[in-house]
Amino acid sequence: MNDFVIQFEQVTKTYTLCSHVSGGIKTFLFHLPDAIRQLRNNRFTALDSVSFAVAAGESLGVIGPNGAGKSTTLALIAKVLAPTAGRVTARGRVLPLLELGAGFHPELAGRENIVLNGVLMGLTRAEVFARMDPIIEFSELGPFIDQPVRTYSTGMLGRLGFSVVANLDPEVLLVDEVLTVGDMAFQAKCMARMRQFQTQGVTMVFVSHDMHAVRTVCDRALWLERGRVRMIGDSAAVTAAYEASQPAPAAAEAAQ
């Protein structure tokens, strides 16, 4: 089993639905018995005994409707969340490609944010500094790299975020629907870089609603629905089945 970089074994993840708790201390204390019962029983199952494995160098697309458990899956791989039951294995340097500017501080310059982002992702400062030039070069931000990030456009934030992750030598790359920003040229550059990763043997998990992108980037696809594996296999077959299952407008749109 050692050739699997990511492995989910009967993974279940439940969240507490806690209206009494999030309603504040007063509500919690005044309804203490209720609240405790609620804490015990009222749980939302985001993933329900999900099992799959991703081999080294493989690219897995994760698709499914909103609330299917896609982001939970990524969070489990990134070890941000721990499974309620089952076992999650992820080997190597797992790097999440953050959604727009999630790891950036608006007041800091692009260059400073690169360092901050790099150390947050698990590199030492020396390792980040060694990669500074390729990161800046890849981002094509030019003189803006020394401007505070709050002055950046959405596209520029996307560029910076992708550039950081793309140059930190990920072994497992987690991509959560972020490549839709940036102009066509930069998107093409990202796609090219992701293919380069694939040839270098980087394992990728790619969450997207863009079936075309999933087919292009991924070898295999995992279709989640209400926390369960609906289908897993060849990305063309799974995306086709997913599109076929969608109501008419979406299917018609996809067919175009």
Partner 1 sequence: MIRWRYQFDLVYELTKKELKVRYKSSVLGYLWSILNPLALAGVFYVGLGLIVGVKGDDRHPFWLTLICGMFPWQWFFNSVNACTNVYVGNANLIRKVAFRRELLPLATVLNDLIHFAVSIPVIVAFLLVAGGGPSAHWLYGVPLLMLAQLIMVYALGLIAGTLNVLFRDLSNLVAIFLTMLFYVTPIIYSLDHGPIAARIAPYRGWILLNPAAAVVAGWKALLLDGRFDAGYWAMAMVYALVALGVAQVVHARLRGSLTEAA
Which residues would be at the binding site for partner 1 (CB under 8 A)? 15-16, 21-22, 24-26, 28, 75, 78-82, 96, 98-99, 102-103, 105, 107-108, 112, 115-116, 119-125
80 or 188: CB nearest partner 1: 80
Q: Among 12, 17, 9, which residue's Cα sits nearest to residue 81? A: 12
CA distances from 83 to 2, 9, 46, 71, 212 (A): 21, 10, 10, 13, 31
In contact, 241 and 210? CB cutoff 8 Å: no
Q: Which is nearer to partner 1, 37 or 212 (by Cβ)?
A: 37
Helix (H) or strand (E) holding 184: helix 184-199
Helices (H) and strands (E) in the chain, counts: 11, 9
Q: Find the shortest distance in angstroms from Cβ 105 to partner 1.
A: 6
CA separation for the pair 52, 9 (Å, rounded)? 7
Closest distance to partner 1 from the beta carbon of 66 (Å) = 17
Residue 226 C-beta: closest distance to partner 1, Å? 19
DSSP three-state, residue 178: coil
Toward partner 1, which CB reaches closer, 53 or 108? 108
Q: Maximum Cα–Cα distance for the chain, whole Å?
A: 60
Query: Minimum distance between the CB of residue 122 and partner 1, rounded to whole angstroms?
Result: 6
Amino acid at 75: A
Residue placing its CB nearer to partner 1 in the complex, 102 or 251: 102
Which residue lies nearer to partner 1 by CB, 15 or 251?
A: 15
Minimal distance in Å, beta carbon 94 to partner 1?
8
Nearer to partner 1, 117 or 198 (CB): 117
Minimum distance of partner 1 from residue 78's CB (angstroms): 6
Cβ-based nearer residue to partner 1, 69 or 239: 69
CB atoms within 10 A of CB 168: 20
- Residue 179 sits at φ, ψ, to 5 deg, of -85, 5
| Tokens 């694939």 found at | 198
- In the complex, minimum distance from the CB of residue 102 to partner 1, in angstroms, rounded to a whole number: 4
- Phi and psi torsions of 58, nearest 5°: -85, 155
